[in-house]
Amino acid sequence: MTWRAPSTLGILVGLLLASAALRIAIGAGPALAEAEEMLAETPQVLPSEPDTCSGEIPEELLVALDAREERVTALEASLADRMQAMRVAEQEVQEQLDQLRLAEESLEATIASAETANDGDITNLVSVYESMKPAEAAALFEEMTPEFAAGFMARMRPDAAAAVMAGLEPATAYSISVVIAGRNALVPTQ
C-alpha cells in the first residue's frame, strides 16, 4: 500500500472538528461549575401547602370580558345580517340574469324571424323584377337610389340583371355598378 498525502480539504475538515471539540471542552467546564454554584446557593425549600387560586376574578376583568362579549355578539349579528342580505342580493341578481337570458333568447328569435321575413320579402321582390320586362324594370331602377338598386341587382340572375342594366341610362348603370363593385372593398382580406 502506498502512502498518500492528505488533501487540503481533509486537513481543513480535521482542523474544524478539532476546533469544535476544544470549544466544547473549554466552555463546558465553567458552565458546569456555575450551574453547581447556583444549585448550592438556592435553598431547597419544599412548599408545605400548594398555592391555590382564591377563585375570585377581579371586577375590572369581568366588566372587560362582558363588554368584549357584547361587542363580539353584536359583530356576529351584524355579519349574519350582512350574509343574509348578500344571499338575498345574490338570489335577486341570479333571477335578473335568468330574465335577461330569456329576454336575449326571445330577442334573438325575433331578430332571426325578422331577418328571415325580410330576406323572404327581398327574394320575392327580386323575383318580381326578374320576371318583368327589362324596359319596365329599368324604368323602376331609374327612380331608385344607386345603393338601393344595387342591392336588388346583386341578387338578380346575371341574365336578368344584364337586360335591366342595358335599359338604364348610362350614368345610372355606372352608379349601380360602382356600388356593387365597392360593397366588399373595405372587408378585411386577411
The rounded distance, in Å, linking the Cα atoms of 166 and 134 is 8
Q: Is 175 exposed, middle or buried (0-12, 13-18, 19+ CB in 10 A)?
A: middle
| pLDDT given for residue 153 in this prediction | 95
- 178 Cβ contact partners less than 8 Å away, ≥ 6 residues apart: 146
Q: Which set of grid coordinates corresponds to residue 143?
A: 327612380
Q: Where are the domains of the chain?
A: 60-119, 132-183
What's residue 42's pLDDT? 54
Residue whose grid cell is 458552565: 31
- Model pLDDT, residue 47: 53
96-125 residue pLDDT tens? 999 999 999 999 988 888 888 888 888 999
Q: pLDDT, tens digit, for every residue of 140-154?
A: 999 999 999 999 999
Q: Lowest-pLDDT range, 13-17, 43-47, 68-72, 106-110?
A: 43-47
pLDDT of 3 above 80: no
Strand extents, DSSP E, the chain = none
Mean of per-residue pLDDT scores for the chain: 84
- pTM of the predicted model over 0.85: no
Give per-residue pLDDT as tens, 68-94.
999 999 999 999 999 999 999 999 999
